[in-house]
Amino acid sequence: MPGRYVARMAASDADVEAAQRLRHRAFIEEGGAAPRADGRDRDAYDDICRHVLIEDRTTGDLVATFRFLPLASGAEIGRSYSAQYYDLAALADFTGPMAEMGRFCVAPGRFDPEVLRVAWGAMTRFVDEEGVAFLFGCSSFHGTDQRAYADAFAMLRDRHLAPKRFWPRVKAPNVFRFAARLRRRPDRKIALKTMPPLLRSYLTMGGWVSDHAVVDTDMNTLHVFTGLEIGRIPPARARVLRAVAG
């Protein structure tokens, strides 16, 4: 029996606008950023990305959205949204296909974990169909007060920093260098509770993060660069993802 939610690719300008309006609700209105005059969160990357909509089968409501930017290899990484904020020169020699996943959000008030499961299923289908070898993006924490996420950042420092060969370097003018500055030992329970669900999912698959967070006052977030080599996903986890995707 089909589940409650279904994922599909945007097929029209109206679909993209619906995604932008949901993003405005989730990122701008709920996140405390300055409102956009037209009630849409949009940027130049929307025109070159593929957009995914996750809808409630019973009501037709849009409950989540995200976008993909396919890249032929690391030689194109300068085209990505993330490259505005991070020096990604260490990834320029990556030879396989890549994809940037961004602007993931869930409708405010929708707490069903099935939404995230369906989202990962859609991501898995895209990765398999496009032969993606490396998935990346910016993982955001709400607000810009790093003290609220001290345990989460300490856990990232201890367990999940990028391998040296892919190390993202500082580019943005305002960053929090948590790997260098934090001295606390993380409380695992608090760390997991305050970490964004999407980032937790990346980490369970073997993903890693930059050693610093960008302070984005425009979006009222802190975000870390997040990378995932598809070939390094644990086999058991990969089987689960493909079962969901199927």
| 142: pLDDT strictly greater than 90 | yes
The pair of structure tokens assigned to 19 is: 């995604």
Which pLDDT belongs to residue 1?
59
Mean pLDDT of all residues in 24-40? 91
Domain region containing 74: 5-245
HEC string for 5-57: EEEEECCCHHHHHHHHHHHHHHHHHCCCCCCCCCCCCCCHHHHCCEEEEEEEC
The whole-number average pLDDT for the span 130-134 is 96
240 pLDDT more than 90: no
Report the number of distinct structural domains present in the chain. Answer: 1
Output the average pLDDT for the chain. Answer: 95
In one-letter notation, the amino acid at residue 175 is: V
* Tokens matching residue 18: 């619906």
Instruction: Give me the CATH number covering residue 102.
Output: 3.40.630.30
In angstroms, the CA 47 to CA 65 distance is 15
Predicted structure pTM score: 0.94
Are 242 and 128 within 8 A, CB to CB? yes
3-state secondary structure of 4: coil
Instruction: Flag whether pLDDT at 129 surpasses 70.
Output: yes
Residue 246 has pLDDT above 90, yes or no: no
Whether residue 93 is predicted with pLDDT greater than 90 in this model: the reply is: yes
